[in-house]
Amino acid sequence: MSRLKEKRFNGYLRYAIPHELDSDIDAVITAYMGSPATGRQRMIDDLDGRSASVLSAYGQRMASTAARAGSIEALHRGLIAVGMAEERLNDARENLYPLAAINDSASLIGTSLRKLITDVSEFLPSASVDKLRKFDQRQEQDKSLEAMGLRRFGSGQDFLYS
């Protein structure tokens, strides 16, 4: 988890997609998912506000990646990152942006945020899952891109939530 605290992640949300840093976070997510529950909790405990923000940004980037490729797997990985970050962010509102993007991307590729949360819930602490579900239970207009000040840009391999 210490690698997520490195300065090279400064401005990560704005880097071109894909980027080599995405692979670094993919490795973190893979290690996290492959760990037993106690190991996953230790990884979360090792997060600070900065590294949690990087995971949150990764969630938004994976929403863009998923929309480009029609990939539910990218949404799973992004949602796990957002769930990992949930309790460690300096401002919990940081996760609202990626959640709105993940929700929108899910609808574009024919699934739902509710289904994604169910799919990844075994990997996340129950408190994080509860917060994700609370977001999903909002009225559509309260979890929309517009409500979070986000928009869709581009199409195909240039698609981006920003």
Rounded Cα–Cα distance for residues 134 and 132 (Å): 5
Taking only the tens place, the pLDDT of each residue in 54-95 is 999 999 999 999 999 999 999 999 999 999 999 899 898 999
pLDDT grade, residue 35 (50/70/90)?
very high
Please tell me the predicted confidence (pLDDT) of residue 142: 97
Please tell me the predicted confidence (pLDDT) of residue 2: 86
Taking only the tens place, the pLDDT of each residue in 4-29 is 999 999 999 999 999 999 999 999 99
pLDDT grade, residue 158 (50/70/90)?
very high
For 110, list phi and psi in degrees, rounded to 5: 90, 30
Does residue 155 register a pLDDT over 90?
yes
Taking only the tens place, the pLDDT of each residue in 95-126 is 999 999 999 999 999 999 999 999 999 999 99
Rounded Cα–Cα distance for residues 119 and 125 (Å): 14
What is the mean predicted confidence (pLDDT) over 30-51?
97
Rounded Cα–Cα distance for residues 141 and 61 (Å): 22
3-state SS, residue 112: coil
Contact 54, 12 (CB under 8 A): yes
What is the mean predicted confidence (pLDDT) over 32-38?
98
